[in-house]
Amino acid sequence: MQPLLLDFLKVTEFAAIAALPWVGSGDKIAADDAATTAMRNGLNEMSMNGRIVIGEGEIDEAPMLYIGENLGSGKGPEVDIAVDPIEGTTPTVNGQSNAITVIAAAPKGKLLHAPDMYMKKIAVGSKAKGKIDIEAPLAANLKAVAEANDKNVQELNVLIQDRPRHQEFIDITRSEGAKVHLFNDGDVIYATATCLENLDIDMFLGIGGAPEGVLGAVALKCLGGEMQGQLMPRSDEEIRRCIDMGLDDPRRALSHSDLVNTEDCIFAATGITDNLFLKGVRTSEGHHVTHSILINGKEKQLRYVESQYPEIQVV
């Protein structure tokens, strides 16, 4: 996977630049179309036999990068790809923070094939790896993470998305004495934040999209953290979709290895707007300037990358 590292980075950079004209526009469809088109074009130029396993749809319907779509030259390594051309479409078109474009990749068969449905997720950094259990009571997980991070529960910082479905999580976390930090958008960003020691985030918890869960799981795998998940199908149709994708027991707890079963993985993300650890795309003296993170799971190496492109190169 390592030879493809910079190629994947360029794809996220191009997609972020393509989305820039739509920041603050209010037009979600146009923004997503621009980023998706740029991402698809970039992926098709890569020397690989790629396949989308986490995408924006489950059938061939443009402009989505749909599950099962084949990308790349058709020559080279077989690669499973998870994408979100814009993670945070609403903040993008509202001119708000917390929008990125993101790709995760691994050898064929190593990423969970997850349908677009809700997934319960819990994520921690490297110190608490092996200490969490998504099926255990939240209070027990808080105590285990506190002990692993050499803290009192009252010193824990827990990220939870500000949604009505999370009120019970919020109430329990606060009743145990831990601090809850609410966020509006950016599931992948905040899951990854648990592995960045300078941010002092101890746990990420919530119910959100399964595709974002797999993307976050790759980032945490690359950084030595841990994510566990549990799909939450809400209908017989969603159960059938899980079974069709090879998940015989759709509601079972998913370990980190169920989500991404290799260290040979790549995670790349580029800021569209400013967020917790990335700057958004900027223009300066006729150039676009991008800010990205690039992580290789084998090396466990996090790189912050700033790139500059003449405005005329990428539309």
Q: Could you tell me which residues are annotated as the binding site?
A: 32, 56, 84, 87-89, 118, 163-165, 185-187, 209, 212
Q: Which residues contact 248 (CB under 8 A, 6 or more apart)?
A: none
Alpha-carbon distance of 45 to 40, in angstroms, equals 9
Q: What residues are designated binding site for substrate?
A: 87-89, 118, 163-165, 185-187, 209
CA-based R_g, the chain, Å: 19
Let me know if 204 is exposed, middle or buried by CB neighbors in 10 A (0-12, 13-18, 19+): buried
- How many CA atoms, within 13 angstroms, populate the side-chain half-sphere of residue 30? 9
- Residue 207 near residue 110 (C-beta atoms within 8 A): no
Q: In terms of DSSP H, where are the helices of the chain?
A: 5-19, 28-44, 89-93, 138-148, 167-175, 187-192, 210-223, 236-244, 256-259
Determine the Cα angle at 236 with ends 235 and 237, to 5°. Answer: 90
Residues comprising the binding site for Mn(2+)? 32, 56, 84, 87, 212
Tallying the residues shown for the chain, one arrives at 315
